[in-house]
Amino acid sequence: FAPNTASARIRLGRSITLEPLITATVGSATRLVGGLETDYDVSAVDVELTVRVPIQRRGRVGLSVVGGGSASRYRSTGSGSDDDTRTDRAAVVWGLGLDYALGPHWSLSMTALNPLLRRSRDRFESPEGATGFDELTYGVVFDPLINGMIHVYL
């Protein structure tokens, strides 16, 4: 699936940058379940907000501490009456960010985000009935999700 992503950076002076991010995905898929092909409609939405605080700058490169939160929902609706799934997740993240200023109106950034606290709730429908599980994980772990972006400043 090709997600549609929108992000903006809001600079608050020279010290803090807010970065909201919204991702929406819609599509369809076919799964092979028990020897039968089943068509599914899939949708997902993810909302994130990170806060960047610069800690070091050398020339055009800046190093920032990053913290934030995210919430997401994934839904898969099958063609049958008992094959729907839904996953809801919320997380608090921390990480590091690098910014490289290409000019006064352009920059490149790399951000490595790690989970600090994550809540996940999964629900499944099956012929036996609805089932699901909840999961809460926490800890300071360095297992980053790395994002790269190009920024245009107006």
User: Mean pLDDT for each consecutive 10-residue tract of the chain (154 residues)?
Assistant: 71 87 84 74 91 95 96 85 84 95 91 92 80 88 86 81
The single-letter code of the amino acid at 81 is S
Distance, CA of 52 to CA of 67 (rounded, Å): 7
Helices (H), ranges, the chain: none
Which among 100, 108, 94 is positioned nearest to 66, based on CA atoms?
A: 94
- Specify the residue for token string 């049958």: 80
Query: Within 13 A of 63's CA, how many CA atoms are on the CB side?
Result: 5
Contact present, 60 and 73 (Cβ < 8 Å) = no
pLDDT of residue 92: 96
The predicted structure's pLDDT at residue 139: 87
pTM for the complete prediction? 0.76
